[in-house]
């Protein structure tokens, strides 16, 4: 099953070393094959056995709620946001049709949580709290305030029906968030111990929230499986990314022409940056959405440093959307769009932007989708996880750790103590 196609648009103008690229593709494939056997998240992505349990917990949890507060940081949140945007979350004109409001608290700000809680009805608000270790400072801080607010209004017993916790089992050191969940009899879904946050989107971390929006979890997994069965495009993408990085194209732009993929590009930025930025190496990810970023970033991409490698995710939207009525304007300067649709313009713009970049000798890759549904989203998520892992193998870095961030965590503890 092929849910998308990928190609290098400007390959013929870039004077590529095809022998070198072929060698890199073979190396990337070998590295990825080894990880298929080693990494738990690949087996979990293909495992259909957890779907019924996730759906049942989600159905019971969301019944009667008008608002759901989702507390989690980084990979505990971004993947879930990318998935539910498929159902319209965060898209203009779509949120009003949902049976509940969801509020993703994935950052700390002195006012945001207070303002949110002030506008919520505590009697019809539930919470999802996700932390692999149960010790993530931001998650602990947000959860402590939310739980105190909820208990103050509803009593502690309310949490048994209005909260779901996703966290690891206890280890030698007790998991504080799990302890809290056990104390208040909150339902717990076990965070898979062998899956790191930024690779957890196809586990219950992402799929539970997808189930709240009635997305088809089996189709998401089937899309992911289709890439694992044939990771050709992901392997080639890794090889081209590392090859172009060696030629000075050290910034990777992911440019999606679909509102429902905006949060997907944000998920990609964390995945790519945190996985590859090691040992003085790294390829900087940039998130773009079309057509709007034609009016903000395109000038830099075209006329600034020639250090970009741009991947377009495109979908043929011809004939879709409202029919344009340029006759409401005086004059005839817009006659060329008469009888066209909004989708016609977007389709033309994505082609024109990609070709303009290619004509400037900027490496451009097309990922062309036939449609955007659960299976396609599952395939895209798995594609970029495989591409990231394969790129890390070529760069000889560990895709699965993030050692450099520990210093800032330690200093935060020190500075809090000094306040």
Shared domain for 18 and 116, answered yes or no, is no
Average pLDDT of span 198-213: 96
Give dist(CA 187, CA 189) in Å, integer. 7
Last residue of a domain, one of 166, 186, 216: 216
Query: Residue 73, Cα to own-chain centre: how many angstroms?
Result: 12
Question: Rounded to an integer, what distance in angstroms lies between the CA atom of residue 173 and that of residue 37?
Answer: 29
Q: What is the mean pLDDT of residues 198-210?
A: 96
Task: Give pLDDT tens digits for 61-103.
Answer: 999 999 999 999 999 999 999 999 999 998 888 766 688 999 9
**Given this model, what pLDDT does residue 371 score?**
94
Query: How confident is the model at residue 223, as a pLDDT?
Result: 97
Confidence of residue 1 (pLDDT cuts 50, 70, 90): low
Same domain, 265 and 373: yes
Per-residue pLDDT tens digits for 309-363: 999 999 999 999 899 887 888 778 888 888 899 999 999 999 999 999 999 989 9
pLDDT of residue 402: 83
Residues 391 and 333 in one domain: yes
Q: Is 37 exposed, middle or buried (0-12, 13-18, 19+ CB in 10 A)?
A: exposed
pLDDT for the residue 96:
60
Per-residue pLDDT tens over the stretch 46-64: 999 999 999 999 999 999 9
Q: DSSP 3-state helix, strand, coil percentages of the chain (rounded to 5)?
A: 55, 15, 30
Contacts of 7 (CB under 8 A, 6+ apart): 365, 366, 368
pLDDT digits (tens, 9 = 90+) for 148-182: 999 999 999 999 999 999 999 999 899 999 999 99
196 part of a folded domain: yes
**Element at 70 (helix H, strand E):** strand 67-71
- Look up the domain containing 138 and give its range: 47-216
pLDDT tens for residues 395-416? 999 999 888 877 788 888 888 8
Q: Do residues 113 and 197 share a domain?
A: yes
Q: What percent of the chain has pLDDT over 90?
A: 81
Residue 184 shares a structural domain with residue 256: no
């Amino acid at each position: 099953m092929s849910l998308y196609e990928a190609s290098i648009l400007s390959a013929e103008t870039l004077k590529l070393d095809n022998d070198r690229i072929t060698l890199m593709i073979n190396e990337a494939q070998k590295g990825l094959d080894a990880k298929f056997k080693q990494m738990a998240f690949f087996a979990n992505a293909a495992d259909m056995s957890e779907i019924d349990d996730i759906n049942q917990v989600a159905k019971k949890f969301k019944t009667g709620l008008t608002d759901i507060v989702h507390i989690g940081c980084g990979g505990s949140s971004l993947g879930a946001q990318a998935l539910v945007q498929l159902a319209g979350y965060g898209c203009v004109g779509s949120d009003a049709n949902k049976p509940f409001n969801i509020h993703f608290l994935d950052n700390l700000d002195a006012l945001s949580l207070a303002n949110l809680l002030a506008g919520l009805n505590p009697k019809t608000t539930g919470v999802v709290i996700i932390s692999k270790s149960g010790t993530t400072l931001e998650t602990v801080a947000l959860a402590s305030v939310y739980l105190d607010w909820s208990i103050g209004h509803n009593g502690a017993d309310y949490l048994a029906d209005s909260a779901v916790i996703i966290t690891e089992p206890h280890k030698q050191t007790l998991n504080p968030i799990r302890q809290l969940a056990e104390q208040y009899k909150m339902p717990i879904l076990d965070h898979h111990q062998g899956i790191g946050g930024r690779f957890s989107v196809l586990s219950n971390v992402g799929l539970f929230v997808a189930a709240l929006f009635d997305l088809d979890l089996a189709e998401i997994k089937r899309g992911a499986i289709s890439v694992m069965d044939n990771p050709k495009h992901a392997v080639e993408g890794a090889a081209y990314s590392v090859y172009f990085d060696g030629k000075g194209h050290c910034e990777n732009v992911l440019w999606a022409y679909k509102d429902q993929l905006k949060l997907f590009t944000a998920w990609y930025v964390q995945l790519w940056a945190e996985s590859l930025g090691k040992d003085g190496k790294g390829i900087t990810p940039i998130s773009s959405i079309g057509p709007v970023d034609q009016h903000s970033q395109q000038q830099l991409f075209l006329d600034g440093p020639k250090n970009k490698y741009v991947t377009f995710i495109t979908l043929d939207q011809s004939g879709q959307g409202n029919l344009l009525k340029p006759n409401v304007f005086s004059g005839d300067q817009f006659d060329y769009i008469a009888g066209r649709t909004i989708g016609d313009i977007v389709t033309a713009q994505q082609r024109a932007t990609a070709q303009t970049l290619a004509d400037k000798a900027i490496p451009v890759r097309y990922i062309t989708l036939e449609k955007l549904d659960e299976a396609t989203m599952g395939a895209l998520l798995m594609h970029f996880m495989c591409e990231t892992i394969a790129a890390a193998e070529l760069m000889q870095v560990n895709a699965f750790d993030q050692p450099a961030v520990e210093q800032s965590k330690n200093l935060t503890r020190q500075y809090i103590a000094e306040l």
